[in-house]
């Protein structure tokens, strides 16, 4: 491989939501940016999370120099424990808050080697192999987020991470537009920019826009207020604490992630907790309802989350009663609609007034840049090449069209890429290169081996659609023959009288298979199970047009 070639290798997050991970390669040096997870789609039955396939990095293990993190959301750090299990000696760089969230995740994993987590600050420049990485502060829906300006031997690559340009952030830490403009003046080889909100016109509202809506709810609420937001939304947590204090309410923090994130943010000076505002969850029941705010995790209706348990009155400390107000201050992540609305139904049955994102005025503002902000970043940087990142293909394509106006200002080409495709840049031009191995690794944390293979997913889907049939055959160990008519047990397959008749006929099919088998076949249970399975599959498919999982069981008596 030529030393004069820079490769951009997306291993996740392009053409899909979540699981963001990008590799930059120059010669024999690879820099990895982010390592996120995604939540499974409905068809991935029993799967808890999905992580990126790291085969490409494993095949080039000796070239991997570092993992650099832009911020602490799960779709950017959720797979870091699995990365460190594969690359235990690779240093991980990130801001203090981001690394603290990574450490919290690592507590759930028993890594053999202590990870090498290295804290960085905005405007700090690191040299990692041939890369000089400058960390630029950006505003987003969580704290301590950075973009990366990476100087390579061929030019500067800017990776925005997730961002919006918030002119009035709650922590008063402004988006570093000045540094972006400086890099634009010097010249940017390649821009990799967040595309999540490219279909939203105008500007994304500031985090401060939520406060008047919260004040209105606090004004109207006569009883208990139960507020749920993403635990990583430190600025939203600060707002709830401040408004609660102003309205004379005590705040109870409920949910493991809510408590741990609050502790981390407070320890790092990112969250200021007013004196005397906190109360213990176990004291909520006895406190006057009009003097209590419950700040609780579980906005996405996760089955065992604190809010989901409250919704079905199954939480040991918190309950929702008639007249209480429940506020979901978060967006509905695509795919979670059913779980969230089912939870809202339960809360509504308990008599609660439930406010959620689709209502007007909205109780949540996005953390991602809309069209005008995306255009601003393009205009400031004026890159030679542009690759939209973070989003499904339609969003990447739309973001590419948004950059067309720069054709007369130095933009030579835009590449709409998907995970696994590569971009190669040399001193003359940029072009798409060869594909690399990518994919999804399904994690089921309740199993002995956490990684779930395609066959297991297929079998689970098979079972969910067509059920299971267990023919049970008792064979006399002396005569080698079946003494009674075989039994058939089904689950998720046949019900009612029609099903009963089908099962009786199926028993006869198995009996005929046994009768037509030779003594040698009867002596080989592996052969007999396969014969029974094939004959029964043919019969059931013909009678019902369904294909249940058939698992014959032979008992020797």
Q: Which residue has the tokens 């054709």?
A: 407
CA distances, 266 to each of 69, 261, 263, 330, 380 (Å): 21, 8, 5, 22, 35
DSSP state of 391: B
Render the burial of 79-118: b for 16+ CB within 10 Å, e for the rest: bbbbbbeebeebebbbbbbbbbbbebbbeeeeeeeebebe
How would DSSP label each residue in 59-127? HTGGGEEEEE-S---HHHHTTHHHHHHH-TTS-EEE-HHHHHHHHHHHTTS--SS---EEE--TT-EEE
Q: Residue 384 and residue 406: Cα distance in Å, rounded?
A: 9
Peptide bond into 361 cis (omega under 30): yes
DSSP state of 284: T
Asked if 524 is an active-site residue, the reply is: no
Catalytic-role residue among 194, 444, 466, 535: 194
Q: Which residue has the tokens 């992580």?
A: 51
Q: Which residues 6+ apart lie within 8 Å of 58 measured at CB?
A: 86
Facing residues of 228 across strands?
Answer: 296, 328
Q: Is the dihedral of CA 339, 340, 344, 345 positive or negative?
A: negative
Give the pair of three-digit tokens for residue 386. 């542009």
Catalytic-role residue among 73, 364, 368, 390: 368
Q: Is the dihedral of CA 272, 360, 399, 40 positive or negative?
A: positive
How would DSSP label each residue in 222-250? -S-EEEE--TT-HHHHHHHHHHHHHTT-E
SS (H, E, C) 22-59: EEEEECCEEEEECCCCECCCCCCCCCCEEEECCHHHHH
CA 278 to chain centre: 30
Asked if 71 is an active-site residue, the reply is: no
Residues catalogued as catalytic: 194, 368
């Amino acid at each position: 491989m030529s030393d004069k070639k820079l490769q951009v290798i997306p291993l996740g997050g392009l053409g899909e939501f979540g699981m963001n991970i990008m590799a930059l390669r120059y010669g024999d040096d690879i820099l990895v940016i982010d390592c996120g997870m995604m939540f499974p789609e409905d068809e991935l039955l029993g799967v808890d999370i999905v992580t990126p396939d790291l085969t490409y990095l494993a095949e080039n293990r000796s070239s991997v120099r570092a993992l650099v993190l832009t911020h602490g959301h799960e779709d950017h750090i959720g797979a870091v424990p699995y990365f460190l299990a594969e690359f235990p000696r690779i240093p991980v760089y990130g801001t203090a808050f981001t690394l603290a969230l990574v450490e919290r995740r690592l507590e759930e994993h028993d890594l053999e080697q202590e990870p090498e987590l290295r804290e960085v600050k905005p405007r700090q420049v690191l040299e990692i192999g041939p890369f000089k990485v400058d960390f630029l502060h950006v505003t987003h829906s969580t704290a301590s987020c950075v973009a990366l300006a990476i100087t390579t031997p061929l030019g500067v690559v800017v990776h925005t991470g997730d961002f919006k340009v918030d002119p009035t952030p709650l922590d008063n830490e402004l988006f570093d537009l000045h540094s972006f403009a400086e890099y634009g003046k010097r010249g940017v080889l390649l821009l990799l920019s967040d595309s999540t909100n490219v279909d939203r016109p105008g500007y994304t509202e500031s985090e401060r826009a939520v406060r008047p809506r919260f004040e209105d709810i606090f004004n109207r609420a006569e009883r208990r207020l139960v507020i749920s937001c993403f635990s990583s939304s430190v600025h939203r947590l600060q707002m709830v604490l401040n408004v609660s204090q102003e309205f004379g309410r005590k705040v109870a923090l409920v949910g493991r992630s809510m408590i741990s994130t609050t502790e981390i943010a407070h320890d790092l000076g990112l969250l200021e907790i007013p004196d005397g505002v906190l109360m213990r969850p176990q004291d909520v029941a006895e406190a006057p309802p009009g003097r209590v705010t419950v700040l609780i995790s579980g906005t996405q209706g996760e089955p065992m989350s604190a809010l989901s348990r409250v919704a079905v009155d199954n939480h040991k400390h918190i309950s929702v009663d008639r007249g209480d107000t429940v506020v979901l201050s978060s967006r509905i992540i695509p795919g979670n609609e059913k779980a969230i609305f089912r939870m809202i139904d339960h809360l509504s049955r308990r008599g609660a007034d439930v406010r959620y994102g689709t209502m007007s005025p909205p109780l949540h503002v996005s953390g991602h840049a809309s069209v005008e902000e995306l255009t601003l970043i393009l205009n400031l940087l004026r890159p030679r090449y542009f690759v939209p990142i973070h989003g499904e293909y339609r969003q990447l394509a739309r973001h590419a069209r948004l950059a067309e106006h720069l054709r007369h200002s130095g933009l030579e080409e835009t590449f709409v890429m998907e995970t696994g495709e590569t971009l190669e840049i040399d001193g003359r031009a940029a072009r798409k290169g060869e594909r690399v191995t990518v994919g999804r690794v399904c994690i089921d944390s309740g199993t002995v081996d956490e990684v779930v293979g395609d066959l297991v997913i297929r079998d689970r889907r098979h079972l969910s659609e067509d059920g299971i049939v267990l023919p049970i055959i008792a064979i006399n160990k002396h005569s080698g023959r079946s003494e009674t008519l075989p039994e058939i047990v089904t689950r998720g397959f046949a019900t009612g009288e029609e099903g009963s008749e089908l099962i009786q006929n199926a028993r006869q099919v198995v009996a005929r298979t046994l009768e037509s088998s030779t003594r040698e076949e009867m002596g080989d249970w592996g052969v007999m199970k396969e014969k029974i399975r094939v004959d029964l599959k043919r019969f059931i498919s013909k009678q019902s047009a369904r294909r249940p999982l058939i698992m014959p069981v032979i008992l020797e008596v």
